[in-house]
Amino acid sequence: MGKNILIVDDAAFMRMKLKDILQKNGYTVVGEAQNGIEAVQLYQEVQPDLVTMDITMPEMDGIDALKKIKSIDPAAKVIMCSAMGQQGMVMDAIKAGAIDFIVKPFDTTRVIKSISKVAL
């Protein structure tokens, strides 16, 4: 059962909060990226079991990064993270291959439920 997770978010505070939730629940954070370009590079380097991907980021947004990662690894598991009011983007992400989404600010129970649903 893999538990290696790559966190992608342009806000350091959000990465820190998510990392804290994950580590307290037995998951290993194998990398952190602050934009889609870094996410794609890191995905290939660390080959995580799961990626949490922010939608709105500079340089390359989460949906484009998701599409790139899926083109590299069709079996990639990506959970999108978005603020309230981004439902349209969330639907785009699901169509592009995301398996779930988590709304910010992060709720520990919801994060863990979403990740365990992915059945790592």
Strands across the sheet with 4-8, in order? 28-33, 4-8, 50-54, 78-82, 100-103
Task: Quick: pLDDT tens for 50-89.
Answer: 999 999 999 999 999 999 999 999 999 999 998 876 678 8
Is pLDDT above 70 for 2? no
pLDDT class of 1 with cuts at 50, 70, 90: very low
Q: Which domains does the chain carry?
A: 4-117 (3.40.50.2300)
For residue 96, give the nearest of 60, 119, 68, 57 by alpha carbon: 68
